[in-house]
Amino acid sequence: MAMAQTAPQRLHVIAAGPTASLQANRHRTGRALLVDALMALAVVGLSLALRGWAADIAGDNAFLEFLRAQWLLLLAGNGVALDPLSLPVPPLVFLAAAALGGPQVAEVWLPIALNVAILLVLTRVLLRGYPAAAKLLAAVPLLATPFFYLLLFRLDLQLFVLLLGLQVATLRAFRLQPTVARVTWAIGLNIALSLTSYAAPAALGAAVGYLLLIANYKREVQVAAWRALLWLYAPFSLAGYLVWMVAWATAGSRLKTSYFLTAAPEPFGRLTTSVTQTLGLPLLLLVGLAVILVLFLRSPDTRMRGGRSQAAAWVVLSFAATGLGWLVIQTLVETLPSEPDALTFAFVLLIPAAIGSVYGQTRNILNTNRGTTRLLLVGGLAIVMVAFSMQYLLRPIVWGDGLPSAERRAAAAREAARAFRLADPGGRVLVDPRFAATFVLEGGINPNRLLTPFDQDFSALVAAPPDDVRTIVVTDAEDDFVGGNYPRLRLLDVVPDATLLAEGRARPALVRAFRREPPAALLPDLERAIVAPYAAAEERLLAEVARRLGPDLMPTRMDGWAYGIDIGNILLYAAERGDAGLFTAVDRIVRDRLLVTEMSDGNALYTVAWRAHADRQVDASGTTESLRVVDAYVTAAERWAAPEFDRLARVIGRAYVAHEQPQQDGHRWFIRNYYNYGTKQYATNTYIVDYDPDVLARLAQRTGDPEIERAAVASAELVQQAQHASGLFYLMYQPEIQTIHPGLEFFAPNALAKTYDAAEVALGTVSSDRAIAERVLEFARTRGDVLEAEYSLTDLHGHGGDRSPALFAGITRLAVALGDLDFARQTADEHLASELEDLISAPASDSWFFNAITTLLSLRELQAAMAG
């Protein structure tokens, strides 16, 4: 067979004469090189020109961030730290390029060089021996597809495409001459491919399927030899995975989670979407190819010299079928990590290869005399060409629309880095570089300054940073797993010792750099107490509170939950009283039980839960509770001149502000009542007790935070709007209610207003809008001893209800705040001191702690006011 094929070729050479043939060959080679060089130049030019466009879509992605982090780790002498699902080839290629030419080379020029390599694989390897027209026909769609330029930002996908092209070439070489040496090269490429992407099994499956197909056709091959070679090819191609798996199993990783671990299994819908949208037209292309190839199989006249008939096109078909099958399996078992992107992007190279291959074949077959065959071939080719062209017109995804945009975290990191450059305090930087590589690079931070999770005992470093640590970088985003990486990282434990230096936000991501200062000791006079007339009552009640709280200081209610409002009140009381011991203990409870530091949910981060349970997860944030805790920390900062509490209050205040619903669609600005940690949804309404303009204003004034200041102003405006003419308040605001009752903004269920709520809200407006507070106090003062717990907003008749100690404690506090000490003392005397024993002896109830601690607050504030 081989002789029969080569004989005409030899005759041709002899007829042309050796010199003429040599010259013709040289001419052809020179022309081919020139064409390749021109196309390579085109790749470089287009890649540079379109890089900016591609960066908007795919730049700064998680994988690039991962590579940058590896580079930083290397520079810092920490070595490479791959995570379990990352494969070593792309990072090692990146690091090698960075080591040789710097990160700019690795990020810019290496991808461009690889794109040139992809083109050359297409024209010089896959279509080797094909006419120049076929190569051009293949190169044009390659250069025209935007996917080609998106590859510039995904080194792993780019290497996958490149190696896949070489792997396909080895199949052809293998097919032409199945020797051990060739199969060894093919295995080597497969191992490289498998250490590049988890999509390699699809490519390997396709290759094996293709080789089996060829072997079973029994054409021009020794079946026994083929099958024996496949025993080498298939298992040893997977050796890379085996080695990698064993290496991880035995050596392990310094990381517990992965960049590449998806939060949830690939939904089946994504597969169907891929097939119908992303892969729809490529599949149509493949149908066209299949038509052509079947015709080739049926036609005995169409085999080309050298046995290269239809090889590339068959490989593409085989790859497409196996790839789709692989994705289906992956979707069904919900565990395999192959990225559909790798398979999709592979078509960037494979389809042009198939087009070139088919064209190279059809040119010959079109010269046959069979009319039907010729017609079908033209039709098939038309489908291929038209489908390929149409996808650019019909499918926005091809132009980048609908592709996942670049990581926002990197944008946030850049913003923070710009600010950090101006305020870099020097010293070492405690940072998680997996997620802040861009920050470090853009911030011009020497990697040797870094303390990272890859340092020994990082948890201990976080808990007690060395004195030379001056900056702490915290990042988060919804899709990060850093919290899972180091559960309860407790970075917040050190945040109170830090000042916010720089911040970048690009929702849902944020990057914050804190300047850490030497821990300030609590003032020595913490035990200072103000002696006041109501001290005895306070001490008596405080002893009972302490008894009921027990050693864990948790104000647990009947349902087993400890409520944030109670804990916040105790914290505030401890701050006002100046009881450092109590404050420190409750502060620990707030941080451990209420403050959300889990970084996996950006919305939940630093919010205060509305309640906590010993055995259950917190379920939602509490805005009133947040305000109370902020009030406590600001008070503590003032009392002990400890700015770290201001900073913690600011962090929580920011999280409170994050509950805001901006003014839009005719609805006013408001703070949504809670954020549900489980459903990750905000409430759609707000309660009047969710506002404390004075606390926010104090915080804004102390920290200079414009966001908080803006919220303070908006809060005051809302509270003012929510006040009824009587001085009481509507209880809530819910935009949806306006669809039922147009014009109704604030309302109270059953038109009943709560007097205590009015006192509490008024207490928060004393500074920002004193008139509001005055109206409430006036309402109480005019009713004196007969003050009711609830009033109808329609006729202002009292509706009784529980005239709890908290009610009078609230009025007392308001009176103190407004300077009406007489009324305050009168209220305290008549309703608090006299009923103290009843309160102390009252059985446990849901409201006991609330009543008791509010009473303590009122007694404390009254004493403080009296003491001047």
Give residues with Cβ within 8 angstroms of 794, minimum separation 6: 751
CB of 16 to other proteins, least distance (A): 31
Task: Report the residue from 14, 22, 243, 463 that binds other proteins according to the rule CB under 8 A.
Answer: 243
22 binds other proteins (CB under 8 A): no
The whole-angstrom separation of Cα 811 and Cα 832 is 11
Residue closer to other proteins by CB (options 191, 700) is 191
Collapse the DSSP code of 414 into the 3-class scheme (helix H, G, I; strand E, B; otherwise coil) and give the result.
helix
In the 8-state DSSP scheme, what is residue 107? Answer: I
- Phi and psi at 850, nearest 5°, equal -60, -50
**Residue 233 neighbours by CB under 8 Å, 6+ apart:** 174, 183, 186, 187, 190, 207, 208, 211
Q: Is 250 in the site for other proteins (CB under 8 A)?
A: yes
Render the burial of 39-49: b for 16+ CB within 10 Å, e for the rest. Answer: bbeebeebbee
DSSP string over 490-537:
-HHHHGGGEEEEEEEEETTEEEEEEEE-PPPPPPGGGG-----TTHHH
What is the rounded CA–CA span in Å between residue 327 and residue 268? 10
What's the min distance (Å) between Cβ of 239 and other proteins? 6
The CA distance from 712 to 654, in Å, is 12
Query: Counting contacts by CB under 8 A, is residue 220 touching other proteins?
Result: no
User: What's the closest the beta carbon of residue 190 comes to other proteins, in angstroms?
Assistant: 13
Regarding 229 and contact with other proteins (CB under 8 A), the answer is: yes
Which of 22, 34, 38, 180 lies at the binding interface for other proteins (CB under 8 A)?
A: 180
- Cβ proximity to other proteins: between 79 and 306 the closer is 79
CB of 167 to other proteins, least distance (A): 18
Helix, strand, coil percent content, the chain, rounded in steps of 5? 65, 10, 30
Rounded CA gap, 20 and 25, in Å?
Answer: 9
Q: Is 79 in the site for other proteins (CB under 8 A)?
A: no
**Candidates 131-139, 220-228, 429-437, 832-840; binding stretch for other proteins (CB under 8 A):** 220-228
* Chosen residue from 1, 2, 15, 224 binding other proteins by CB under 8 A: 224
Interface residue with other proteins among 109, 185, 236, 260 (CB under 8 A) is 236
Distance, in Å, from the CA atom of 775 to the CA atom of 507, rounded to the nearest integer, reads 41
For 9, what's the count of Cα atoms within 13 Å in the CB-facing half-sphere?
Answer: 8
Stretch that binds other proteins, among 232-240, 422-430, 509-517, 716-724 (CB under 8 A): 232-240
CB of 401 to other proteins, least distance (A): 46
Number of chain positions touching other proteins (CB under 8 A): 19
Mark residues 460-489: x for contact with other proteins by CB under 8 A, - for none: ------------------------------
Q: Which region among 144-152, 179-187, 370-378, 662-670 touches other proteins (by CB under 8 A)?
A: 179-187
**Which of 225, 297, 460, 523 contacts other proteins by CB under 8 A?**
225
Measured in whole angstroms, the distance separating CA 523 from the mean position of its chain's CA atoms is: 41
CB of 253 to other proteins, least distance (A): 15
Stretch of residues binding other proteins (CB under 8 A), selected from 63-71, 155-163, 230-238, 661-669: 230-238
CA angle 415, 419, 425 (to 5 degrees): 140
Q: Among residues 254 and 540, whose Cβ is nearest to other proteins? A: 254
CB of 296 to other proteins, least distance (A): 30
Q: Which of 50, 232, 385, 530 binds other proteins (CB under 8 A)?
A: 232
The correct pick among 27, 231, 272, 784 for binding other proteins (CB under 8 A) is 231
Return the number of the residue (250 or 679) whose C-beta is nearest other proteins.
250
- The H-or-E segment that residue 670 falls in is strand 670-671
Task: Tell which one of 3, 15, 251, 333 touches other proteins (CB under 8 A).
Answer: 251
Of 81 and 281, which CB lies nearer to other proteins in the complex structure? 81
Beta strands 686-687 and 732-733, pairing class: antiparallel
Q: Are 744 and 797 in contact (CB under 8 A)?
A: no
Q: Does 1 bind other proteins (CB under 8 A)?
A: no
The single-letter code of the amino acid at 497 is: D
**In the set 228, 376, 385, 386, which binds other proteins (CB under 8 A)?**
228
Asked if 374 contacts 366 with a C-beta cutoff of 8 angstroms, the reply is yes
* Residue 227 binding other proteins, by CB under 8 A: yes
Binding residues for other proteins restricted to 195-214, rule: CB under 8 A = none
Choose between 180 and 771: whose C-beta lies nearer to other proteins.
180
Q: Which helix (H) or strand (E) holds 429?
A: strand 428-430
Nearest to 829 by CA among 765, 768, 770, 785: 785
What's the rounded Cα separation, in Å, for the pair 674 and 659? 7
Which residues contact other proteins by CB under 8 A?
180-181, 184, 224-225, 227-229, 231-232, 235-236, 239, 242-243, 246-247, 250-251
